[in-house]
Structure 1
Amino acid sequence: MPGTRKVAVVVPWHGYGARVLAGISRFARQHPQWVLHLVQSDSPVLYDDLKEWQPDGIISSLLDTADPVEIPHYRRPWVCILARPDDRRRPFVTIDEDAVGRMAAEYFAERGLRSFAFIGNREHEFSIQRAEAFEHALNEQGYACDTFLYRTRFYSQTRRERVNIDRRKRKWLEQMEKPAAVFACNDWEAFQFIQFCRQQEYRVPEEFAVLGAGNDEMLCHVCNPPMSSVRIPFERVGYEAAELLDQRLDQRKQEQRGHELPPMGLVSRQSTDVFRVGDAVVAKALDFIREHLTEPIKVEDLLRHVFVSRTLLERKFKTELGRTPLVEIRRQRIVRARQLLADTDESILEIAEKCGFSSDIRLSTVFKEITGQSPSQYRRRVRVT
């Protein structure tokens, strides 16, 4: 076919890889000249396959090899995904891991938890980056983080390695102050950790509130209890990588060679369904806010519910959460609005009504005050169009 563009896509065909592929496929449907060739990232004949097919361009993450000169993507247009290539001239699309770590830290701190931990694998650069960002964000708020990083490849793990890791993990859990907020580097790690807690007869979320990253719907719902997770824009990674490669194949000027995409929000499920607040009045007020978030409630409604003066309620909120009741109402509404903007096609007016705002203009005003961007700008930023 004249003008055909042969593009090799080297990703795993499961988990996050399937979602990256969905983004690339969406771009390919919009550009019929694209012909995709899929190669499993762990294929034993990966390089032979690429050499035989002779693609015009390649989308892949960094590939392990003893002889990088022999890799076809070093001699053809190549866009790296989910990693930063050493060669700064290479275009890439990856995740803003600092933003992922900060989001997790803020989420747990807002729930009143004061003991924090991170679990991950040293074999993965994203795991190290998320651990550092999570710990740094907590340090800024005056909290410490107990980090547990092991080093092993899961699929080649020996029984001896597993026994040793489990022994260290048991000791780690025993020494941790409870209840503790545990952020895992990804959903699979969070799933394993929750299973391990159950085996050791620890309660989730009462003793360990566990948060993953990736929002793998199947894994999150198979988990018992259902698992909370940071939403990572894997589909958008694929789409933007395809856009960058298309620009390279056209030899068009690229405004940006590197794209770092922010997380799309956070889905809260039962594994983090705990709110640690020492003051009974504040706890009662927070329950009221969550239950009536879709209504246009005001601080006066809270006062009628908890039977204390405004001055006392504000002082208690400041002591427990570091913010006023009004700020907490607005914060929870914006969290809900972010989720609806990312997950639905509902209009700004419809979202405003579901988040307790009097109008779409009011939502837009508060949204911009808190996030620095309008609802429409946020929606475009987190979604593939």
Structure 2
Amino acid sequence: MHGQIARTNTMLREAMQHASRPMERRDLGAVAAMFASAFRGGRIAPGLEAYLERFCFGHPQTSPEVGSRVYESETGELSAAILCVPLRFRVEGQPVTARLLCNFMAVGETGARGAACLSRYFRAKRHDFLFSDTASDASATHWKTGGGRIMPIQSLEWCRVFRPVSAGARSLHRILRGEAGALVLAPLSLLDKAARRRRPLLVAHMPDGVSVQEVGATQFLVEARPMLGRFSVHPDWDPSEFAWLSQMVEANPALGPLRFSLIRDATGASIGTAAYCGTGQGRASVLNLVCLEGRERESVAGLLADFDRQGYCEARGATQPFLMRALQAHRHMSFRHRGFFCIAGRMPALHRALDQDLVYAEGLSSETWSRLLTDF
């Protein structure tokens, strides 16, 4: 009896594995329809299929082994999918291809079976390094069941408001967040000026001796790479991958142009770097902020002061353990849940880094830039 049960379980696992397969270009139409059904009430936006092709197959490291995955039923119908982006990381100096798991979707009668099959495939013991920074509560349960870990601090978003009237108005509708919104909301600047006079702490001041300079992508990489060395797990950002990620950011109209900043102290030495996006006088979306150990307060304060100087109404970014004290030192700073940050893998070095809060994965090396979150 035990032998028969074991054979049956083996057959079931083989059947499920056969039904789960790498996504191919011929699946784009079905995946677009599935995405629309799962996340957009069935409406397929113009350009969605073309974007999915770029998202799923455009990365220079994409291959069937590390790309997106679908579930195909016995009738040949796709009823579940997980979109994946391969990203190069260093884990204690060793190059590793991590898989960023993004949209997890299932539809139709066989959707539940497909979701279970894909969840079984993406178990921690089968892969070196998996992560997601936008998991829902249901997805987080799948991660934990499969041997993953949920990181509570990285699951938060910080927000610093500079001009509360404009920031509140822009939150009412997406169209008000772009350059057109800046024109519509221009009269509110008078109310913000009054609010800032009444509440001086809304103004972010540059620390003594600190300066912030806009730089190009090349200089950002030169300065940021040594600073990433404080983390035992961090993005590699090789030139081809960084170029692709930058192009994907620039293609997202909801974010605005991609910019890079260098933060210096009174001696002119670099103490921090940042990558962010912003449109008009709206929101500055901080993708990455990395600095020298011990210079977190100056780097955070300098960057926020520079955003205030440029006229942004607010700044937002992902929370990291090494930045918490520096962020909490600011008035008019708030934190909210943005999606569960989940991570899994079979590498002992990865778990050592997690235990010591030495994992850095956000912004350009996360799902923040995806139009599938903010568009379509």
Fold similarity call, TM over 0.5: no
Instruction: State the TM bucket, normalised to the shorter chain.
Output: under 0.3
Q: What TM-score comes out, normalization by structure 2 length?
A: 0.27
Q: Which structure has the larger Rg over C-alpha atoms?
A: 1
Relative CO higher for 1 or 2, CA cutoff 8 Å, sep ≥ 6? 2
